Structure 1
Amino acid sequence: AINTINQRWDALTSTSKFVLSPDYFKYFHLTPSLQSGPTCGIVALAMISSVCVPSQSSEELLRIAQSLGYTRYGEMFSAYNMLTLIQNTSVIHKFIPKLYDGGLAIRRAEIIKMIMNGALLLIPYDADRDHSPGLFGGHKAHWGVVCGLILDGADCLLVGRQGKSLHPTLWPIDQLDSSNLNLFEIDPQRLSSSKDYVTDNIACSLRGMNIVLTPVNCT
């Protein structure tokens, strides 16, 4: 079933004439943005901001995060700080952010319902070489935003965007959940670098966490 969904998704992203049934498809278009340096969380937030009025660029969001003391180069190792950053941007005029803990599986049905109703999901995970969710103990910690889903029987694929590509991609919800729950420690090589990153214990500040952004008019 997943292969069939992927074929349909490829068709959807290659031609505007292909339409998926709204019974199992939801997609919220966000303007893509590429990251420069360790700004994955900032860029993911900028994509969300692209549908807000006024929108704020990744550069502007970075300055706000720096002024709050949450980052130096764009790194965001705390979901708590990310939530507060959102609350200091124009995003709160369109979305109500709420931080959740414990991963996705325990709230699977609720999350699917919220996304079907237009919610976005800002989530940290371990990025594989193709930037899909992987398992690296947190050494490849990355931020992405879920902006839709495809349902087919028991299969649930989330539509994701992240700052290493201009194109949306599909992530199995269980794969993203496992990756999100695998964030135990920052890569020691990053910690030993000459750059003075704003760090945190990601086992407590990122692992299992996600921020749901519910449209104001849906509350």
Structure 2
Amino acid sequence: MTSPCSAPPEPSIPLRRSPEPQAPIVPTPPLPPSPLNLAFLPQPCSFQPHIPPPPPLPPPPSAARGAPPHVYGLEKSQLLKEALEKAGPVPTGREDVKRLLKLHKDRFRSDLQWILFCGDLPSLIQEGPQCGLVALWMAGTLLLPPSGIPLERLVQVAMERGYTAQGEMFSVADMGRLAQETLGCQTKLLCGGLGGPNRDLVLQHLLTGYPLLFPYDEDFNHEPCQKKGHKAHWAVSAGVLLGVQWVPRLGYTEDPELPGLFHPEPGIPCQPPSMPEEGSPGAVFLLSKQGKSWHYQLWDYDQVRDSNLQLTDFSPSRAADGQVYVVPTGGVRAGLCGQALLLRP
């Protein structure tokens, strides 16, 4: 496959967009308040110091046991917090993966047996265009357990080094430099796409339990699509689902709920499986997370590869929004197209 991408970029330069002048907005007179909405009306401004209400009483023991686990990033997002409360408790990593596999079991080829390798990634909901830094934070929890490094530190260093203006990351090379400095980890920059020899590097890397960072175009359901970079987004993968002809005997157990699915036994050396050939469709799936959902995503490897390989253009809507973005010399094509990052301690 011929890659439309160029070599890794030179240091990034800020791309400044000046907002167009707008006509003054004349506010409409407020409607009379409805009796049902009085509790939600803003209070008049006052110079008196705000006296906080007393803290709420702790929940009863039964409610405390059923409380959902903490999902990072929800403190600042009331909408997501309310959605999480309605959805119920967030499952653990393995439970969420099994939920995903049961939901999509019809996608898996019946002529293959399946082996799941998966690290446990926490969720972090992004605020603004921070998808790349959020993905790096999630990857950092595997490299610097138990909680990695604060997201605020990643943002601070990225801004100080000139990699970003407001959290955006349009350079995989800059992401690698940021990871080395903040996480103290080793990085390998992959160029030329996720196919060919890079495919074997990625799969072997994921089998060892280390994370993969990659940019792609995000569809409405967060899955990879092909929008020429207009929907550029970041994700982190810490797991892979392999379809194989046979499962090695040493070190694997079959899932009691999903026949045909096998897991490596913890603490026991396992024989590496034979990798599916690149031309074999529907045999490799990546387990990934990104900053707009607290759930795992299951994506066909070829779908990710194709999306990553066509990131060529800067989004016209971003170019016209009046914001400042740091884009490398050569644009999105030079900074993201066909590139990914392998991280290890």
Tell me the equivalent position of 1:176: 304
Match of 1:111 among 195, 202, 205: 202
- Report which stretch shifted further, 202-211 or 43-52: 43-52
TM-score normalised by length of structure 1: 0.84
> C-alpha separation between the residues in 2 aligned to 1:203 and 1:193?
21
Displacement after TM superposition at 1:204 (Å):
1.1
Displacement after TM superposition at 1:57 (Å):
2.0
Displacement after TM superposition at 1:44 (Å):
0.4
Tell me the equivalent position of 1:19: none
> C-alpha separation between the residues in 2 aligned to 1:86 and 1:146?
16
The residue correspondences of 1:1-219 to structure 2 (distance < 5 A) are 12-13=98-99, 24-51=115-142, 52=144, 55-89=148-182, 91-92=183-184, 95-106=185-196, 107-153=198-244, 154=280, 155-200=283-328, 201-214=331-344, 216=345
Displacement after TM superposition at 1:23 (Å):
7.0
Report the structure, 1 or 2, having the larger helix content: 1
Tell me the equivalent position of 1:4: none
> C-alpha separation between the residues in 2 aligned to 1:74 and 1:49?
17
> C-alpha separation between the residues in 2 aligned to 1:111 and 1:148?
11
Displacement after TM superposition at 1:134 (Å):
0.5
1:37-95 residue CA offsets vs partner (Å, 9 max, x unmatched): 10000100111122315721222211110111111110000111111111111x22xx4
> C-alpha separation between the residues in 1 aligned to 2:243 and 2:180?
35
What is the root-mean-square deviation in Å for CA atoms of aligned residues?
2.1
> C-alpha separation between the residues in 2 aligned to 1:110 and 1:49?
20
Gaps of 5+ in 1: 1-8, 16-21
Amino acid at match of 1:123: F
1:142-171 residue CA offsets vs partner (Å, 9 max, x unmatched): 000011000113410000110000011111
Q: How many residues align?
A: 198
TM-score normalised by length of structure 2: 0.54
> C-alpha separation between the residues in 2 aligned to 1:14 and 1:134?
20
Ranges of 4+ aligned residues in structure 1 off by more than 4 Å: none
> C-alpha separation between the residues in 2 aligned to 1:191 and 1:208?
22
Change (3 A) 1:14 1:152: closer
Contact 2:176 2:189 in 1 (8 A): yes
Change (3 A) 1:177 1:46: same
SS at match of 1:197: strand
Gaps of 5+ in 2: 1-94, 102-112, 245-279
SS at match of 1:198: strand
SS at match of 1:50: helix
Amino acid at match of 1:206: L
Amino acid at match of 2:140: S
Amino acid at match of 2:242: L
Higher Cα radius of gyration: 2
> C-alpha separation between the residues in 2 aligned to 1:169 and 1:203?
25
